A = this chain, B = another copy of it.
Amino acid sequence: MTDSERQTDLLVVGSVAFDSIETPAGSVDNALGGSAIFASIAASYFGRPRVVAVVGDDFGADSYALLEGRGIDTRGIQKVAGGKTFHWKGRYHDNMKDRDTLDTCLHVFADFDPVLSPLLRRSSHVFLGNIGPRLQAQVLDQVEDPRFVGMDTMNLWISNALPDLKDVLRRVDVLFVNDDESHQLTGERQVLNAAREILELGPEYVVIKRGEHGALLFGNGLCRFVPAVPLSRVVDPTGAGDAFAGGFMGFIAGAGEITPSALTRAMRAGSVMASFACEAFSVGGLAAGDPAEIERRVAFLESMSA
């Protein structure tokens, strides 16, 4: 393993999707999305993440080119011949936060059976994107000696697969949830209490994502906050949470030691990536980030608390 591989040793598992989305700002059809896509592109600004996912025949050369152009290792993406990629159709309300799912077609995702290559099994950092907890566990089982594991989830799994979810939760270092999910998971409305209860379920840290209101990190006696980057235009918030987690995990994978300062900077990296994700449909905003603009937004977030 070269130094460069070692430094950027983040495995990202999650969904790959083609999304059809309506927001107050417009609409898009069959556009690249999914938790693995948003998270790995966000992480790619801090290293060379490796994606584990499943796609169909419709996942074409342009999609591979986009990911590989960002330095993402796509060898863990299984392509099912004759299959179709997961499809999600949704519509956002005027508040750009609430949304209705109009259609979900699992397609090849229904039979996703992730098998990791020897290289992927040696990943030091793992991000378990938002897929069912049994799949998350199946991936984690195959990683030989993970040093830091992040996990995302959603209301569906909290409702339908809580025992499995709790099993995974005991094995991860950080859980990413939003306010509603933290409430659903713990019954606690106050974020401080919800965070405490989640930490008792196993993870060392929990990050509570709050959309335009930023995010909080709790754990190891720390309480850290990062604002959202104020944006003059939000086009589509889809994937912002995945981008936050991907930026956070990518930063941590590149940072080496987990210090309070590294966690704060990881939160800023996540917040900046989420801001890019919101500025265009699909991965248009996220894939167009550049180091100078990232640096500018990170500095802006710092200045907001100066």
Near B by CB (< 8 A), chain A positions 210-237 give: 210, 212-214, 216, 223-227, 230-234
Would A305 and B189 count as touching, CB distance under 8 A? no
Between A94, A227, A231, A234, the greatest number of chain B beta carbons within 10 A of the residue's beta carbon is seen for: A227
Near B by CB (< 8 A), chain A positions 237-268 give: 260-261, 264
A46 CB, nearest partner CB in chain B, Å:
21
Interface bin, chain A? 20 to 34
Complex partner residue of A192 from B213, B230, B306, CB under 8 angstroms? B230
A191 within 8 A of B: yes
Complex partner residue of A227 from B225, B232, B303, CB under 8 angstroms? B225
A1 within 8 A of B: no
Would A190 and B264 count as touching, CB distance under 8 A? no
A211 CB, nearest partner CB in chain B, Å:
9
Residues of B contacting A303 with CB < 8 Å? 223
A96 within 8 A of B: yes
Complex partner residue of A264 from B214, B225, B231, B306, CB under 8 angstroms? B306
Would A190 and B234 count as touching, CB distance under 8 A? yes
Known: A214-B213, A306-B260, A306-B264. A192 touches B225 (CB 8 A): no
A304 within 8 A of B: yes
A190 to B278, CA, bound (A): 12
A303 to B214, CA, bound (A): 16
Residues of B contacting A192 with CB < 8 Å? 230-232
